[in-house]
């Protein structure tokens, strides 16, 4: 496959892995967080941990949109479909996430609610156009990557004069989440979470550019290397991070220069700025309430805002006490630290959000990395062991 296989070359991987092994100082450990679920997925899918020396550890961050959506907002989406009888459209993974009382959008569908899986928000718009008698709600989730398309369909709906299309907006912002992690007591004070640097997001950065990460590099003295989602990208980024640490640097470097520029995609940023405004605060699963970390639809486009058209109730819910999704999303714990992992929490029967999406740390670990269980018991160097 042209333009893809080049980034999955086993020979090159061995070369980079050899460099990482040679350059990583045996006396110290390196703890890098990959923020994005896409990276988490790539790391496990291609078996990258097998290629790293024991003292280079990856910590899985919160960049999985499905994982960080708090249950009350999922419950509200289910309520939109069930109580308000709307045609609720969302991305595949979102449909399987268990809300409170183990309800999910898929279960609501089985009980008769009109829930549709879409690959693109344009599909939701099309459904609204083709079914003028139905109220169609697009359940929008995701980071800066999926936000511009949502903005575009809202503007398209306005252009078309659609009266039966709204968006339930749950878009969140990457830099705010990174700040939250860096400000967390586990990182700043307690030292529970050793964190030496970040593998920066791939697709998110194509939109926002590399510019927003300079603050973290400077203010918190943590190197950031923006990397593509292919396995060679990830390995190369890890090597670049090791080098920065060894040289005492804390800079933003761009491994993904084939797609990411300093300023990002100005048209995408503009349409987002024209359509959305910052929420004062937003609850994240795992991170709690994070100020200025999410977007809502501007008042001038409120006719397309499902939260304005429908009465959406938010009821606080209690998560399973043993579920460690919160700590896992903050990188404080690893999937294997959760007593529910594997039994009873599995991808077929997910109790927590990290087990649902293939980008969730638990699901990636369960689906791809479980063979490492044999060695897990003796792995004392794990950050959360």
- Interface pick for other proteins out of 21, 23, 49, 249 (rule CB under 8 A): 49
Say whether residue 326 binds other proteins (CB under 8 A). Answer: no
Stretch of residues binding other proteins (CB under 8 A), selected from 49-57, 253-261, 293-301, 308-316: 49-57
The reply to whether 45 sits near other proteins by the rule CB under 8 A is yes
* Cα 232 from Cα 14, distance rounded (Å): 10
Coil, helix or strand at residue 40: helix
- Told to check if 107 binds other proteins by CB under 8 A, we report no
With residue 207 as reference, give the H or E element that holds it. Answer: helix 203-208
The answer to whether 95 and 105 have CB atoms below 8 angstroms apart is yes
Q: Which one of the spans 10-18, 171-179, 264-272, 288-296 is the region binding other proteins (CB under 8 A)?
A: 10-18
In the complex, the smallest distance separating the C-beta of residue 108 from other proteins, rounded to whole angstroms, is 15
* Interface pick for other proteins out of 30, 32, 35, 44 (rule CB under 8 A): 44
Q: CB neighbours of 192 closer than 8 A, spacing ≥ 6?
A: 186, 332, 384
Report, in this order, helix, strand and coil percent for the chain, each rounded to 5: 45, 15, 35
Closest to 45 measured CA to CA, from 385, 294, 372, 369? 369
Smallest separation, CB 301 to other proteins (Å): 25
Shortest spacing between CB 291 and other proteins, in angstroms: 33
Q: Quote the CA–CA distance of 128 and 224 in Å, as a whole number.
A: 42
- Determine if 347 is a binding residue for other proteins (CB under 8 A): yes
DSSP annotation of 210: S
Query: CA 121, CA 32: separation in Å to the nearest integer?
Result: 33
Instruction: Using DSSP bridges, classify how beta strands 87-90 and 136-142 pair: parallel, antiparallel or unpaired.
Output: parallel
- To other proteins, the closest distance from the beta carbon of 235 in angstroms equals 9
Closest separation in Å from C-beta 231 to other proteins:
5
x/- mask, other proteins, residues 242-281, rule CB under 8 A, reads ----------------------------------------
- Taking CB under 8 A as the criterion, the residue among 6, 25, 28, 50 binding other proteins is 50
Q: Are 42 and 230 in contact (CB under 8 A)?
A: yes
Angle at which helix 147-160 crosses helix 121-130, to 10 degrees, equals 20
CA–chain centroid gap for 110, Å, is: 27
Q: Which of 21, 29, 118, 152 binds other proteins (CB under 8 A)?
A: 118
The least CB distance from residue 258 to other proteins, in Å, is 17
Cα-Cα-Cα-Cα torsion 330, 331, 334, 340, nearest 10 degrees, comes to 0
Give the whole-angstrom CA distance, residue 119 versus residue 103: 22
At its nearest, how many Å lie between other proteins and the CB of residue 202?
14
- The span of 158-166, 211-219, 319-327, 366-374 binding other proteins (CB under 8 A) equals 366-374
Query: Which sign, positive or negative, has the C-alpha torsion 95, 98, 100, 104?
Result: positive
CB closer to other proteins, 78 vs 364: 364
Binding of other proteins by 53 (CB under 8 A): no
- For other proteins (CB under 8 A), the number of binding residues is 35
Binding footprint of other proteins on the chain (CB under 8 A):
1, 4, 8-10, 13-14, 17, 44-51, 92, 96, 118-119, 123, 231-232, 347-348, 358, 363, 366-371, 373-374
């Amino acid at each position: 496959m042209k333009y893809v296989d080049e980034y999955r070359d086993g020979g090159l991987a061995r070369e980079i892995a050899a460099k990482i092994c040679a350059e990583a100082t045996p006396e110290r450990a390196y703890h890098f967080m990959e923020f994005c679920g896409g990276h988490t997925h790539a790391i496990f899918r291609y078996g990258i941990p097998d290629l790293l020396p024991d003292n280079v550890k990856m910590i899985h961050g919160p960049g999985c949109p499905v994982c960080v959506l708090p249950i009350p907002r999922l419950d509200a989406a289910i309520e939109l479909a069930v109580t308000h009888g709307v045609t609720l459209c969302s991305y595949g993974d979102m449909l399987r996430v268990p809300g409170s009382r183990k309800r999910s959008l898929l279960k609501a569908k089985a009980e008769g609610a009109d829930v549709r899986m879409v690959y693109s928000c344009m599909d939701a718009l099309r459904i609204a156009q083709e079914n003028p008698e139905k109220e169609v709600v697009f359940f929008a989730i995701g980071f800066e990557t999926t936000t511009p398309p949502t903005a575009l369909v809202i503007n398209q709906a306005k252009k078309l004069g659609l009266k039966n299309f709204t968006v339930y907006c749950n878009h969140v912002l990457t830099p705010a989440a990174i700040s939250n992690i860096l400000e967390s007591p586990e990182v700043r004070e307690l030292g529970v979470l050793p964190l030496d640097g970040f593998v920066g997001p791939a697709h998110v950065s194509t939109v926002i550019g590399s510019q927003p990460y300079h603050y973290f590099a400077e203010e918190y003295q943590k190197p950031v290397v923006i990397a593509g989602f292919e396995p060679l990208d990830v390995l190369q980024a890890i090597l670049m991070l090791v080098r920065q640490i060894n040289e005492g640097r804390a800079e933003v470097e761009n491994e993904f220069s084939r797609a990411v520029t300093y300023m990002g995609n100005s048209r995408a940023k503009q349409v987002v700025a024209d359509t959305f405004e910052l929420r004062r605060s937003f609850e994240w699963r795992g991170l709690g309430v994070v100020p200025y970390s999410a977007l809502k639809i501007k008042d001038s486009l409120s006719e397309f805002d499902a939260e304005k058209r429908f009465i959406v109730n938010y009821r606080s819910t209690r998560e399973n006490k043993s579920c460690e999704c919160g700590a896992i999303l903050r990188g404080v714990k690893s999937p294997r630290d959760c007593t529910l992992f594997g039994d009873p929490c599995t991808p077929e029967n997910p109790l927590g959000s990290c087990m649902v999406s293939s980008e969730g740390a638990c699901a990636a670990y369960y689906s791809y990395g479980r063979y490492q269980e044999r060695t897990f018991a003796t792995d004392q160097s794990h950050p959360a062991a």
